[in-house]
A and B are shown apart, each in its own frame.
Chain A
């Protein structure tokens, strides 16, 4: 079961450095949704953000998680895990979120019509100030960055 991999009670505590760390999230739609809710709560408790900024962050991070859930372990017998780290640097007012899985993303366009799939990646690029998606020998790393995070208030 999922709970063997996830230990929310042990991980839910936010460190003094205000990082959000979830190293072993089950790569499925339910866990992606749950992590989105937790990430939203973390954002609200640590930052005062405008609506656009808050929703951009929430959606971009969710899309990275949902992509991992949908594509990373397509050929695996059961879902693997995905790790999320959000680190805020106060001096530069920059938030960097990395979403790392240990699978290999099937091409997002896949065998389905291009207009139905693969919107997650263009969304991440549009929502973050900087987005990189890198395939590594061990998996895929999505890195999303927002600059002037708290000075973005409209």
Chain B
């Protein structure tokens, strides 16, 4: 089942052609949040909202898929760390990221030691037994 995408920072500023959106889907007990666009101080709160909404449904696992994210700022990384703390009692958090704009800065500040990082969604689904 695919819900309506959360967030719609469509072309809010000149030259910004990568609209931010989070699309939630469900795979077994795993809630998958597919994130698109730039995650920065402006859009990070929308990602938090999407994670909170996903957790309300009581999934065993939340997968934040950053495969289509072109820019990830520290504000977005803080959301991931905050989400890890939020879910740790009730669910697992898995983050999918690979590349210069996402997994590279995540590893630079050691967030890969706080959240479970996977290069592809298939790897993350494998890891939580929903492949």
Enumerate chain A interface residues (CB-CB to B < 8 A).
8, 29-30, 32-34, 36-38, 41, 51-52, 54-56, 58-59, 62-63, 66, 69-70, 115-117, 119-120, 122-123, 126-127
B10-63 interface (Cβ within 8 A of A): 12-16, 38, 40-42
Alpha-carbon separation in the docked complex, A21 to B73 (Å): 22
Flag if B73 contacts A59 (CB, 8 Å): yes
Flag if A58 contacts B71 (CB, 8 Å): yes
Alpha-carbon separation in the docked complex, A82 to B75 (Å): 19
Flag if A66 contacts B40 (CB, 8 Å): yes
B78-110 interface (Cβ within 8 A of A): 78, 81-82, 99-101, 104-105, 108-109
Q: What is the predominant secondary structure among interface residues of chain A facing chain B?
A: helix
Flag if A66 contacts B75 (CB, 8 Å): yes
Flag if A123 contacts B100 (CB, 8 Å): no
Q: Please indicate which of the listed interface residues B14, B71, B73, B99 has the most CB atoms of chain A within 10 Å of its own CB.
A: B73
Flag if A63 contacts B73 (CB, 8 Å): yes
Q: A37-B13, A66-B40 given as contacts; is B100 within 8 A of A55 (CB)?
A: yes
Alpha-carbon separation in the docked complex, A37 to B108 (Å): 22
Q: A38-B15, A59-B105, A116-B78 given as contacts; is B38 within 8 A of A33 (CB)?
A: yes
Residue of B13, B41, B72, B82 near A116 (CB, 8 A) is: B82
Pairs A-B, 10 closest by C-beta atoms = A119-B74, A51-B100, A34-B13, A55-B100, A37-B15, A29-B41, A126-B108, A120-B74, A29-B42, A52-B100
Alpha-carbon separation in the docked complex, A30 to B38 (Å): 12
B64 on interface, CB distance cutoff 8 Å: no
Residue of B14, B81, B100, B105 near A115 (CB, 8 A) is: B81
Q: Determine how close the nearest CB of chain A comes to the CB of B70; give it in whole angstroms.
A: 9
